[in-house]
């Protein structure tokens, strides 16, 4: 038996995508110098939890971490999927949204459809919320040929920082292959939908956010509806807080979303948050105005997805059959650029990028890698 040839990488950047692309392309990876020069070196709790999650849904993968956590050997196995009877605890250092994107894309190419419970934080200011995944991410997947049947995220309880307590039930169908797209027309906004929520605080917080948000968007869009989701008891998780997500649906079937959440009690460590994410002192009115303004800003970018979903869009285009996909996005985000680099490094796949001279948007074109699910279980 020959010696395993590992693709050598350095640093902690793009950890989720490296793990995902390693598994999809059956490429063993060796990552060194993971935060080696930081005060607390090595893998973080959420990264280790993601590795354990991959071990759960894959068979015969091998994970080896050195004592300091600064070196990882990962040898991918077979993507099994299936019904997982034990829930996966995502912890409280990152939200469930951190885990959802790589898990969903991975299990599209599993042997069996996936059903799994994920426990942890459902809404925070770092990662896309479970509401955004329901309203925006899943419709994007359907655009690439993922069937609606069996594709679902059910929020059974909400959990906010610092103590979490949320739980979602995720179902992912399998595909033989994705469908290449030509998706360059963002259309015009025809309606806006949203979900506000509150846990262990008065429902008045939701009313304040909704009223303020509608004050910004109602003069521009007539069809606006924001649902209220007040939770108490076990369904409210372990920390008080509130938040809101908005999604604009366009005439060409695009979904542009933004979300935010405020936790009444936070960890002392807020150094990793951007200034605009430190919203502890902001009132519900401020939150409502801010989220509505953020949505209008995303719409003005003139792309078929919002900045948060650029990486997923490029990833899905890359995994399509060997056919041409064409998409248009707004100004390239940092995550989008990192995704293009990772696709080049793992799949040897390059996008043709052409800026639109009449706007800030960018056209991208690629020929898919030709990812096929050869182990899909036929019912």
Q: What is the pLDDT of residue 85?
A: 93
Per-residue pLDDT of the chain (379 residues; tens, 9 = 90+): 468 899 999 999 999 999 999 999 999 999 999 999 999 999 999 999 999 999 999 999 999 999 999 999 999 999 999 999 999 999 999 999 999 999 999 999 999 999 999 999 999 999 999 999 999 999 999 999 999 999 999 999 999 999 999 999 999 999 999 999 999 999 999 999 999 999 999 999 999 999 999 999 999 999 999 999 999 999 999 999 999 999 999 999 999 999 999 987 444 444 444 444 444 447 899 999 999 999 999 999 989 999 999 999 999 999 999 999 999 999 999 999 999 999 999 999 999 999 998 888 999 999 999 999 977 654 4
Q: Is the peptide bond before 156 cis (omega within 30 degrees of 0)?
A: no
User: How much is the pLDDT for 360?
Assistant: 84
Contacts of 1 (CB under 8 A, 6+ apart): none
63 in Cβ contact with 98 (< 8 Å)? no
Question: HEC states along the chain?
Answer: CCCCCCEEEECCCCHHHHHHHHHHCCCCEEEECCCCCCCCCCCCHHHHHHHHHHHHHEECCEEEECCCCCCEEEECCEECEEECCCCEECCCCCCHHHHHHHHHHHHCCCCEEEEEEEEECCCCCCCCCHHHHHHHHHHHHHHCCCCCCCCEEEEEECCECCCECEEEEEEECCCCCCCCCEECCCCCEEEEEEEEEEECCCCHHHHHHHHHHHHHHCCCCCCEEEEEEEECHHHHCCCCEEEEEEEEEECCCCEEEEEEEEECCCCCCCCCCCHHHCCCCCCHHHHHHHHHHHHHHHHHCCCCCCHHHHHHHHHHHHCCCCCEEEEEECCCCHHHHHHHHHHHHHHCCCCEEEECCCCCCEEEEEECCCCCCCCCCCC
pLDDT score, position 273 = 40
The reported pLDDT for the residue numbered 279 is: 44
Contact 306, 294 (CB under 8 A): no
Which pLDDT belongs to residue 92? 97
Q: CA 36 to CA 51: how far, in whole Å?
A: 19
**pLDDT score at 234:** 93
Identify the pLDDT of residue 3: 82
Domains and CATH numbers, the chain: 1-79 (3.30.110), 189-266+279-301 (3.30.360.20), 309-367 (no CATH)
What pLDDT, on a 0 to 100 scale, did the predictor assign at position 374? Answer: 75
């Amino acid at each position: 038996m020959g010696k395993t040839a590992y693709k050598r990488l350095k640093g902690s950047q793009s950890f989720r995508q490296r793990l995902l692309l390693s598994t999809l392309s059956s490429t063993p990876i060796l990552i060194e110098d993971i935060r080696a020069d930081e005060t607390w070196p090595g893998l973080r709790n959420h990264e280790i939890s993601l590795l354990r999650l991959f071990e759960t849904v894959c068979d015969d993968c091998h994970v080896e971490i050195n004592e300091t956590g600064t070196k990882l050997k990962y040898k991918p196995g077979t993507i099994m999927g299936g019904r997982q009877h034990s829930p996966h605890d995502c912890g409280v250092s990152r939200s469930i949204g951190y885990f959802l994107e790589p898990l969903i894309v991975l299990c599209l190419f599993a042997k069996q459809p996936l059903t799994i419970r994920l426990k942890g934080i459902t809404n925070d200011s770092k990662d896309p919320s479970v509401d955004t995944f329901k309203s925006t991410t899943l419709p994007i997947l359907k655009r690439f040929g993922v069937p609606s049947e069996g594709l679902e995220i059910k929020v059974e309880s909400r959990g906010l920082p610092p103590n979490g307590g949320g739980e979602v039930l995720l179902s992912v169908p399998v595909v033989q292959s994705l469908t290449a797209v030509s998706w360059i027309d963002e259309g015009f906004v025809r309606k806006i939908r949203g979900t506000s929520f509150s846990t262990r605080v008065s429902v008045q917080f939701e009313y304040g956010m909704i009223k303020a948000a509608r004050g910004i968007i109602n003069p521009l869009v007539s069809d606006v509806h924001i649902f209220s989701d007040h939770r108490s008891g076990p369904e409210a998780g372990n920390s008080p807080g509130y938040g809101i997500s908005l999604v604009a649906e366009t005439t060409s079937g695009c979904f542009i979303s933004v979300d935010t959440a405020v936790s009444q009690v936070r960890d002392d460590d807020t150094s990793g948050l951007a200034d605009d994410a430190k919203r502890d002192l902001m009132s519900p009115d401020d939150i409502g105005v801010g989220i509505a303004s953020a949505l209008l800003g995303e719409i003005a970018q003139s792309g078929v997805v919002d900045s948060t979903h650029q990486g997923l869009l490029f990833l899905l285009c890359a995994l399509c059959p060997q056919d041409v996909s064409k998409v248009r996005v707004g100004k390239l985000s940092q995550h989008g650029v990192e995704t293009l680099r990772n696709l080049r490094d793992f799949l040897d796949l390059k996008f043709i990028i052409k800026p639109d001279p009449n706007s800030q948007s960018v056209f991208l074109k690629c020929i898919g890698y030709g990812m096929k699910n050869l182990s899909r279980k036929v019912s």
